[in-house]
Amino acid sequence: MKKIVLAVSLLLLTSCSQTSINSDSNDTPALKQVGEVIDCAEIFQEKLPTGGTTLDCLDQSQGAQLAALRGPMIVNVWGSWCGPCVEEIPHFVSFYEKAKSTVQLVGVNVEEANLKDAQRFVIENGITWPNLYDSDGRSRQFFGLGVPVTWFIAPDGDVAYKHIGVINSEAQLVELTQKYLGITI
What's the structural domain count of the chain?
1
Does some domain include residue 26?
A: no
In this prediction, residue 110 has a pLDDT band, given cuts at 50, 70 and 90, of confident
Q: What is the pLDDT of residue 98?
A: 96
- CA dist., res. 9 & res. 91, Å (int): 27
Identify whether the C-beta of residue 106 lies closer than 8 Å to the C-beta of residue 130.
Answer: yes
Q: Flag whether 11 is in a domain.
A: no
Q: How confident is the model at residue 74 (pLDDT cuts 50, 70, 90)?
A: very high
Alpha helices in the chain (DSSP H): 2-14, 83-99, 115-124, 140-143, 170-181
CATH number of the domain encompassing residue 110: 3.40.30.10
Residue 23 belongs to some domain of the structure:
no
- 3 assigned to some structural domain: no
pTM of the model: 0.73
Residue pLDDT, tens place only, 81-103: 889 999 999 999 999 999 999 99
Position 1 scores a pLDDT of 36
The angle formed by the CA atoms of residues 97, 101 and 106, to the nearest 5 degrees, is: 70
Domain range spanning residue 168? 37-181
pLDDT 10s digits, 140-179: 766 666 789 999 999 888 889 999 999 999 999 999 999 9
The pLDDT tens digits of the residues spanning 50-72 come to 456 777 778 877 666 666 677 89
The answer to whether residue 110 sits within a structural domain is yes
